[in-house]
Amino acid sequence: MIKRYSAIMKNEIQRQFTYRANIVAYAVGNIAELVALTVIWTIVYRSIDSVHGYTSNEMIGYVIFAWFFSFLTTTYAFEHNIARDIHLGTLSNLLLKPQSYIRYVAAVGTARISVAFCIVLIQGAIVFSFFKGSLIFSSEVSTILLLLTMLVITYFINLFLSILIGFIAFWATEIDGIYQSLKVFSKFMSGTFFPIVLLPAFLVKASYFLPFIYTIYIPVQLYLGKISFAEGLRGLAIEILWLVVLYGIIKVVWRFGLKKYESVGI
């Protein structure tokens, strides 16, 4: 089993290396987002001392960690790959092999971000050293372990969401619009751009019923020491619950989608 998935992943990583220019482009894009956010908040804090209880340093710290965590766990629009398999009919090639498509695609998706992941680590190290003095964060081993676990789950939630959005291609020929809307919505509701608490109360309450807030906001709060370890554990539990739910939905959508795929017959 290991041989099979490491073969799949090895191929995808090799393929990544053939697109060196693309990797550089993504790296530049990543940093640009962080620069934009820090610039905005720096300007805001020129005329205010505190926003919803966050001082300038705390806010910059939030933004940097939210940026770091979100780029470590993104799938870089993997839904497009799945949509392409469906629309071009290359899904058929995999259907006839003794290989589960969902597992295959999970392996490919994970290998696909591996190179970008390393680059984000390097970018993160550079950014942290730049802001060394002003960042406040936890250095408890238990907290860091909990954080890492949450981030791993966050990645898989993002992967499952990508797969689900990709599966929309079974019924729709254009998924770009849906993808774009969902991307911005999820970044918004996960607290990637700013702490969720800045939103009106009813929206904050609503966000707790979606998976997004648990993917970035909660881990960052944990790391910044703004929530307790116990609350972090609770957040992890809900994350895992969402993971299971999403997997279940994937299985159901897959079955219906495949029926549609077969009836159209590419």
Partner 1 sequence: MIIQVKNLSKTYEYYKKQPGLWASVKGLFHREKLFKEAVREINFEIKEGELVGFLGPNGAGKTTTLKMLSGILYPTSGEAKVLGHIPWKREPKYQKQFALVMGQKNQLWWDLPAMESFILNKEIYEVSDADFKKNLNELVELLDIKDVLDVQVRKLSLGQRMKCELVAALLHKPKVLFLDEPTIGLDVVAQKNIRDFIKEYNRKNKTTILLTSHYMEDVKELCERVIIIDEGRIIYDGNLGSLIEKYAPYKVLKISFEGEGVKKEDVEKYGNVTDFQPSRITLQVDREKAKDVAREILSSDLPVDDILIDEVEISDVVRKIFSNNAKK
Question: Which residues neighbour 219 within 8 Å (Cβ) at sequence distance 6 or greater?
Answer: 69, 147, 150, 151, 154, 232, 235
Q: Which is nearer to partner 1, 24 or 122 (CB)?
A: 24
Choosing from 3, 46, 132, 255, the residue that interacts with partner 1 (CB under 8 A) is 3
24-43: contacts with partner 1 (CB under 8 A): none
Tell me if 259 contacts partner 1 by CB under 8 A: yes
Choosing from 39, 44, 95, 184, the residue that interacts with partner 1 (CB under 8 A) is 95
Choosing from 47, 129, 139, 263, the residue that interacts with partner 1 (CB under 8 A) is 263
Tell me if 14 contacts partner 1 by CB under 8 A: yes
Tell me if 265 contacts partner 1 by CB under 8 A: yes
Tell me if 99 contacts partner 1 by CB under 8 A: yes
- Pairing between β-strand 54-55 and β-strand 50-51 as defined by DSSP bridges: antiparallel
Count of other CB atoms within 10 angstroms of residue 225: 14
**Least distance between partner 1 and beta carbon 208 (Å):** 36
Question: Which residues neighbour 76 within 8 Å (Cβ) at sequence distance 6 or greater?
Answer: 26, 112, 113, 116
74-93: contacts with partner 1 (CB under 8 A): 89-90, 92-93
Question: Which residues neighbour 28 within 8 Å (Cβ) at sequence distance 6 or greater?
Answer: none
Choosing from 28, 47, 49, 97, the residue that interacts with partner 1 (CB under 8 A) is 97
Residue ranges in the chain assigned as alpha helix (H): 2-17, 20-47, 56-72, 79-88, 91-95, 101-130, 141-167, 176-189, 201-207, 212-215, 217-224, 229-264
Q: Which is nearer to partner 1, 58 or 85 (CB)?
A: 85
**Least distance between partner 1 and beta carbon 252 (Å):** 18
**Least distance between partner 1 and beta carbon 258 (Å):** 9
Neighbouring-strand partners of residue 54:
51
Tell me if 22 contacts partner 1 by CB under 8 A: no
**Nearest-angstrom CA–CA distance, 42 and 44:** 5
Tell me if 98 contacts partner 1 by CB under 8 A: yes
Residue that has been written with the tokens 């408890």 in this structure? 140
Q: How many residues bind partner 1 (CB under 8 A)?
A: 24
Residue that has been written with the tokens 């969402």 in this structure? 242
**Nearest-angstrom CA–CA distance, 167 and 190:** 23
The residues binding partner 1 (CB under 8 A) are 3-4, 7-8, 10-11, 14-15, 18-19, 89-90, 92-93, 95-99, 259, 262-265
